[in-house]
Amino acid sequence: MSHEAEAGLPPGILAHHFSSLARQNEAMRLGMWLFLATEILLFAGLFTGYSVYRFQFPEAFAECSRHLELTLGTVNTVVLITSSLTVALAIHFARTDSPRAAAFCLVLTLLLALGFLGIKAVEYSEHFRERSLPGKYYAFEAVKTPGAAMFFTLYFIMTGIHGLHVIAGMLVLSWILRRTLQGRYSSRYYTGLELGGLYWHLVDLVWIFLYPLLYLI
Amino acid sequence: MSESGQPSRALHADESHGEHSHSAVPYLVVWIALLFFTGLTYLTGKQHLGTWALPIALIIACTKSALVALIFMHLRESSGSTRLVFVTALIFLVLLMFFTVADVATRFRPSTPAGAPFGTERSQPEGLLEHELPEE
């Protein structure tokens, strides 16, 4: 059991059933990517449904898209891309033994995530005000083309599930921030932080496709 | 617990993964590229370029995703197994979307039951079977 002490790691990082840290790291990365693959397939189903109805109602989708707040959607894209950068930098700083800088980058990421949700809340409240809502709750005066309700159904499901992922990502990153402040991550071990970052980048990846497909038809 | 030679070699390889000379410059470059492509998709999207709008938007989105996956998500420096998982997910995504879209894009009225939501006159090949279509 002495290999843990040899590596000079804080206690509780290397599980006893792994023969070395390198093997544990590789298993952790592979496990995370398997989980991300299931997430990709979850969103693949939603994007497929979107494609089918966009084919069926091209005019309604284009018309509804032009009633979304393009400026807010664009600002949110920039916010998420920047939050991806701050997460990547947090991993970089942990890797180069600057835990305080890493913690600062994680705090920035959480603030950007809050900003994203705030902007999304402004958009949602506007949809509720003008009643551009999913399914039978649709009563939007400006667009009465058949298929308009379907656009907003897909819009709410896709941005809603994406929003839940943003919230989940924030919880994961908060937990990782606590561990960063406890001094758990360094150039010797940063895989936990790296995996949290991977989840956050996936949230960004999904939005990269949602933005042009919903806001820019 | 005995340490064989192989894990220690792997451990050494992992230490080079987390070396002190690791640079943040690629992240900043990717961030600027992502902002550029966001601007590009915004400008081209606002033009409403008709047939070309969707392919252009998807090409830009795929480029942005490739940058995020390769640099931010470290796929460029990952092991083969993690890359294999990612590529497998992409293959299943393409299978799902390609055959579904190929189906809805090639339907025409004689191939769908009366009153079915899919198969509009828009997607019907011109002149085909027009005299045989049931009256609606």
Could you give the ipTM of this predicted complex?
0.90
CATH code at position A91: 1.20.120.80
CA distance A97 to chain B (A): 8
Q: What is the pLDDT of residue B52?
A: 87
Structural domain that includes position B70: 23-77
pLDDT average, residue stretch A41-61: 92
Question: Contact B20/A96, CB-based, under 8 Å?
Answer: yes
CA distance A99 to chain B (A): 13
pLDDT average, residue stretch B71-96: 92
- Least confident span in A122-126, A172-176, B14-18: B14-18
Pairwise CA distance, residues A122 & A128, whole Å:
10
In a domain, B2, yes or no: no
Mean pLDDT of chain B: 76
Of B130 and A45, the one with more pLDDT = A45
pLDDT average, residue stretch A64-75: 93
Q: Are B73 and B119 found together in one domain? A: no
Confidence of residue A171 (pLDDT cuts 50, 70, 90): very high
In a domain, B129, yes or no: no
CA distance B126 to chain A (A): 18
In a domain, B90, yes or no: yes
As a whole number of Å, the CA-based R_g of chain B is 25
Residues of A in contact with B58 (CB under 8 A): 212
Residues of A in contact with B74 (CB under 8 A): 194
Closest by Cβ to A205, choosing from B4, B65, B88: B65
The DSSP secondary-structure symbol of A20 reads S
What's the pTM value of the predicted model, to 2 decimals?
Answer: 0.85
CA atoms within 13 A on the CB side of B88: 14
Long-range contacts of B25-28 (CB under 8 A, 24+ apart): B26/B71, B27/A85, B27/A88, B27/A89, B27/A92, B27/B71, B27/B72, B28/A85
Q: Which of residues 43-62 of A touch B (CB under 8 A)?
A: 44-45, 47-48, 51-52, 55-56, 62
Q: How many residues does chain B have?
A: 136
Question: Contact A37/B8, CB-based, under 8 Å?
Answer: no
Residue of A nearest to B103 (CA): A52
Domains of chain A: total = 1
Pairwise CA distance, residues B127 & B135, whole Å:
16
Structural domain that includes position A82: 18-215
Q: List, for residues A182-206, the tens digit of each pLDDT value.
A: 988 988 889 999 999 999 999 999 9
pLDDT average, residue stretch A164-169: 97
- Which CA distances in Å does B21 have to A105, A112, A197, B15, B17? 19, 28, 21, 12, 10
In a domain, A36, yes or no: yes
The DSSP secondary-structure symbol of B7 reads H
In a domain, B70, yes or no: yes
In a domain, A197, yes or no: yes
Domains of chain B: total = 2
Q: What is the pLDDT of residue A147?
A: 85
Residue A125 at interface with chain B, using a CB cutoff of 8 Å = no
